[in-house]
Each structure stands twice: as structure tokens, then as C-alpha cells.
Structure 1
Amino acid sequence: MERTEVIVGIDRHESHRAALYWAAEEAARRGVGLHVIHAYRIEWPDAEYATAETERVLAGEAKSLIDSALYDARRHTSGLTVTGTFVRDGAAGALIDAGRTAVLTVVGSRHHVSGLTATLLGSTAQQVALHSTGPVVVVRGRSETKTGPVAVGVDGSPGSFTALGVAFEAAAARGARLSVVRAFRPGTPAWPKDVPPPEVLNAETAHAALYDELGRAVSTWSEKFPDVGVDRLVLPGDAAKVLDDVSTGAQLVVVGSRGHGGFAGLLLGSVGGHLIHHADCPVLIAR
């Protein structure tokens, strides 16, 4: 089935209003429609015994929220085709289902959720990022992210090569530069097999070898997007910390859905969780 819309999930939290506006701008940039979804459920142990009156009240509140979001999205981005639905379901499940036919699924991230709380409870953003079949953007960080480069994490895996292509497209659409980031920790699987270990190379030679590796990864996409200026960054350290630092000056960070080495366990371990909850700009998970 052809993917034809940007999907965005909203609730009453302020971060989801930011996600709505970001999604509206992205839909307009891509020349597609925007579909707004609000999911609600009755949060108490005997919810199955809810009365018809309770259902009516909750559905009415959900409709009001959707109507308000549609009005705001149309006012924010004129000429955009905007539709909306509300469903009685969990937010993550509703967005994952809807995202099967979306060009992009957009969710907000509640900025002040602690890492421990997010890990124990799981967030909508985290669940959607883990289980969606298409690309996902988690909108978080600075309120203004229309300047600065698009940044992408690359580690040589097929997933990161896909992310690199998505990042080139995003940079071209925004008229932005692209920062291609290679994080590494000497002695880990991220260290290239054809590069001698750091005890054999001095730091300058090692950096040059990794810089050249990035150049080879970038070359194919640069031919397709010749107008996108590229900066290659080889930065030692933990991938989560490296990308977090880069996000402070970027307008978007793009990562692959699976990686190895420097970006190992991107959606299964600390890197994905860290970026989704702590990056200083929106994070796009490419598939």
C-alpha cells in the first residue's frame, strides 16, 4: 500500500503541540497530507464497566482536542490538507497501526521524564520508535530547530547507510548542510577491520583512516545530492554522548533503526533511549 500521509499523535501535553507543528511543516515540505491522531483510554482497574455517560464524556473531550489540533495545524501551515481521528486505544498501539501506511510517524517526547522513569514505564515515543514499520520522528529538545545542520550517525552498517540517504534527503529539502558523524571507541567492533588497532596507529593516522571511511560512505549520496554541503566528523567516545553533543547545534538528528559497533543496540539499548529522551533536537529513526 502506498504511503501518502504524515501521521502525528497528540495529547494535551505541551510537547505534543510542538510535534503537531513540526509534523505540519514536514507534511507541507513533502507535499503530502497530515493526519492527526488522539488515542484515549479509561485508566482505572474496572474500566470495562465504564458507563455510557463516561464514554460519551471522554469521546467528547477527544473530539474537542482533535478539532482544536486541526484548526491549529491549518492555521500554522496554510494550504495543508489536514484530517484527524480519535480512538479508544493505547497511544502507542494506535500510532503503530496508523503508521503502517504513513510516510512518517511523528510523536512528541515529554522533556522532563527522567531516564529511569522512562526505562521503567516506557513512553509512547519509545514504543512507537521500537515497533513502527516505517520511519519515526521524536520531536523534542529546543523549541526552535529550523537552523543548523542535519546530523546523521554512521557506523558502516546497512541501517546506517539507509539513514545516510534519509539524512541527505532531509538536508536537501531544508537547504541545510549535513554533518556525517562517526563515533568510535578504540578496540570495540566499531573499529574498522581494515584499520590497525590504535596501539599501532597514532591518533592522527587513526582519525585519517576513519575520515576516509566516511568519505567512501558519503560519495554515492553526494552524487545524487550535489548541492548538499557535507561535513565529516570523526569523534571518539560513546555514540549516545557523541550524538547528544552534536544535537545541541543541529536541527535534526537521523539514526538507523539497527546498527553495530559505535551505534550498537540503537533501539534496544542505551543509545536509542538516550536520544529519544535527551537529544536537544528532533530525532528521526530511519527504516
Structure 2
Amino acid sequence: MPKQDIIVCAVDGSEAAKTAVRWAANAAVKRGVPLRLVSSYSMPQFLYAEGMVPPQELYDDLEAETMEKIDEARAVAEGFAPGVEVSHQIEEGSPIDMLLDLSEQCTMIVMGSRGLGGLSGMVMGSVSAAVVSHGACPVVVVREDNDVTEETKYGPIVVGVDGSGVSQRAIEHAFREADARGAELVAVHTWMDMQVQASLAGLAAAQQEWKVVEEEQNALLGHRLAGWSEKFPDVKVTRVVTRDRPVRALCDAAEGAQLLVVGSHGRGGFRGMLLGSTSRALLQAAPCPLMVVRPVEGDVK
């Protein structure tokens, strides 16, 4: 099935999922695309014991209960973002399979950080790990404390840049989000190779060396952003080159932001963005929703 320009948001009735719905509805309106609310249900395994066949009434009840969650989420979306175009999809079975299938068809998947029922454990559990690690489109994880406010509704888009192929894809998505939202783009690059000596003389030399490195890295960062700046000339870009740990630098830059965008892996300060300590820390500590962009065939590692 061909890709559709649509945002998919996972729904499970939890408060975290409602926060994700608000963010996704706001994103859909700003991008001018439809929002699809999706959920799944599954029959308890013990009902299949000894060849039992669950009655159809039980399936009907589970589907009706899931539909109530969809209806509640629809009210949240329409109340927060009037005019948003909303559809829904309910499936029986694994939420992982459903979301991975949908990732082949949609622009973006939005998930709450944790939930109930079929979509539980959204950050550290199997559902989020599978969707963030294997989804074919960018995946946005929204924690319950990442709620959209009047401040963050108009905040910047922040992107982590390291020069790899997947980092370039993250830059592309960040520019598209900033352009659709009329937002500033803040591009952050960290440099951790400086060795500061203990003596005052050594510190002074290191500071001077850092100034040279900072100028070089600013020039490189500008080069990496240049093509996208030409394609999106209305997007104001602020470059940040800092001598800091990636998690702290990105979290500091993302205070009050609408979205933080990172590639799923990279070089230097952003190595191992998916499975390493940096990604785990950002999923739990980012002060705004986090978009993870995976590499595609041909990306430079």
C-alpha cells in the first residue's frame, strides 16, 4: 500500500495516550493532514486453554470497549484542535504488528510514553522498543509530562546533528516540521574530544583550542544545514555547537520546544541513539516530545 500523508496516534485510554493525542492533533492541524486514531485488543490467553473457543459476544464486548477509548480520544483531539480531520482504526491482535504495518503507510506515528492494556509499557516495554526500533516512518514518543501548552505550542523545533546519513534525514524532518509550524529550528551539535588540563596554563590553552574547534564545527554545521535552508528559506535557523554531553545539551536546547528530533544512530556524540544510554535517557528525560528517525538503505553510518 502506498504511503499516505497522515499522522497515526496510538490510543489506549490512559492519560499518557491523551497527551499524545493532543500533540498529534495539534501536529495534524499545523501540517494540514488527517489524524488517524488506532487501537487494538486481544483475547486473554487463558480463554484458549484446552481448545476453548471464546464466544462472539466477548469479541464484541472487547471491540466496543476499545471503541469507547477511540471516541474519548476523538473528543480530546477535536476539543484541543478544532477542525482536525479524524478517522479511526481498530484491530484484534498485537499492537506491535498493527503499528509496524501502519508505519509502512503513514507519515508519522505518535505514541504515549506509557499506557494501559494492549499498549502498555510504551517507553521501556516491548511495544515502544519494537516500534521505535523497526518502524518505517518517524516515531514520536510523548511523555505524560510533555503536554502541549501555550508556550510549547509555539516553541522551536530542535534537532541533533552529527553529520551521518541518518542525521541528515533527521534534519530533513526537523525542517519540514519547523516549516509547517512556522517555528524556529535549533540545530545542536556537541563536541566532546577536548582534553582540559588541570593547570591554569593548560586550561587557557584548551579554551583557545576550543575557540578554533568551535569555529570549525560551526562552519561544518552550517554546511550540513545549507541545502535545507535553501529549500525552506522561511525557516529561521539557530546553530548551537557546544562542548557538552549530548543528552544534557539536547535537553537544555529543548526546554520549551515543540519537538526534539534525533536520528536513530550516528557518530561522535550521538552514537547509539536507539539502544544506548543516550536514547534511553532522552526517552525518559527530554522536556518535550521526541521524534526518532531511523536510517534507510543508503544512509551513511
In the alignment, the residues of structure 2 paired with residue 210 and residue 132 of structure 1 have an alpha-carbon distance, to the nearest angstrom, of 32
In the alignment, the residues of structure 1 paired with residue 260 and residue 180 of structure 2 have an alpha-carbon distance, to the nearest angstrom, of 15
Scaled by the length of structure 2, the TM-score of the pair is 0.81
Give how far 1:79 is off: 2.9
Matched-pair contact (CA < 8 Å) for 2:178–2:185? yes
Q: For 1:146, what is the secondary structure of its paired residue?
A: helix
In the alignment, the residues of structure 1 paired with residue 289 and residue 207 of structure 2 have an alpha-carbon distance, to the nearest angstrom, of 39
Give how far 1:159 is off: 0.8
Matching residue of 1:127: 130
Matching residue of 2:299: none
For residues 99-248 of structure 1, the aligned pairs below 5 Å read 99-110=103-114, 122-140=125-143, 141-143=145-147, 144=149, 145-186=152-193, 202-248=209-255
In the alignment, the residues of structure 2 paired with residue 148 and residue 63 of structure 1 have an alpha-carbon distance, to the nearest angstrom, of 34
Residue 236 of structure 2 aligns with an amino acid whose one-letter code is: G
Give how far 1:256 is off: 1.5
Q: For 1:83, what is the secondary structure of its paired residue?
A: strand
User: Given the alignment of the two structures, is residue 97 of structure 1 paired with residue 104 of structure 2, yes or no?
Assistant: no
Percent of aligned pairs with the same amino acid:
35
Scaled by the length of structure 1, the TM-score of the pair is 0.85
Residue 74 of structure 1 aligns with an amino acid whose one-letter code is: E
Residue 155 of structure 1 aligns with an amino acid whose one-letter code is: D
Matched-pair contact (CA < 8 Å) for 2:9–2:37? yes
Give how far 1:56 is off: 3.2
Q: For 1:274, what is the secondary structure of its paired residue?
A: helix
Q: Which runs of 5+ in 1 are unaligned?
A: 112-116, 189-197
In the alignment, the residues of structure 2 paired with residue 147 and residue 34 of structure 1 have an alpha-carbon distance, to the nearest angstrom, of 20
Residue 4 of structure 1 aligns with an amino acid whose one-letter code is: D
In the alignment, the residues of structure 2 paired with residue 169 and residue 279 of structure 1 have an alpha-carbon distance, to the nearest angstrom, of 21
User: Given the alignment of the two structures, is residue 259 of structure 1 paired with residue 266 of structure 2, yes or no?
Assistant: yes
Residue 165 of structure 1 aligns with an amino acid whose one-letter code is: E
Matching residue of 1:73: 77
In the alignment, the residues of structure 2 paired with residue 47 and residue 265 of structure 1 have an alpha-carbon distance, to the nearest angstrom, of 41
In the alignment, the residues of structure 2 paired with residue 56 and residue 96 of structure 1 have an alpha-carbon distance, to the nearest angstrom, of 25
1:34-91 deviation per Cα after TM superposition (whole angstroms, max 9, x unaligned): 1111112245555564732443332221121112222332333333321112222232
User: Given the alignment of the two structures, is residue 6 of structure 1 paired with residue 13 of structure 2, yes or no?
Assistant: no
Matching residue of 1:56: 60
Matching residue of 2:201: none
Matching residue of 2:23: 22
Q: For 2:153, what is the secondary structure of its paired residue?
A: coil
Number of residue pairs aligned between Structure 1 and Structure 2? 272
Give how far 1:282 is off: 0.7
Give how far 1:213 is off: 1.1
Residue 285 of structure 2 aligns with an amino acid whose one-letter code is: H
Residue 15 of structure 1 aligns with an amino acid whose one-letter code is: A
In the alignment, the residues of structure 2 paired with residue 233 and residue 4 of structure 1 have an alpha-carbon distance, to the nearest angstrom, of 31
Matched-pair contact (CA < 8 Å) for 2:103–2:109? yes
Matched-pair contact (CA < 8 Å) for 1:240–1:270? no
Matched-pair contact (CA < 8 Å) for 1:108–1:125? no
Q: For 2:287, what is the secondary structure of its paired residue?
A: coil
Residue 18 of structure 1 aligns with an amino acid whose one-letter code is: T
Q: For 2:216, what is the secondary structure of its paired residue?
A: helix
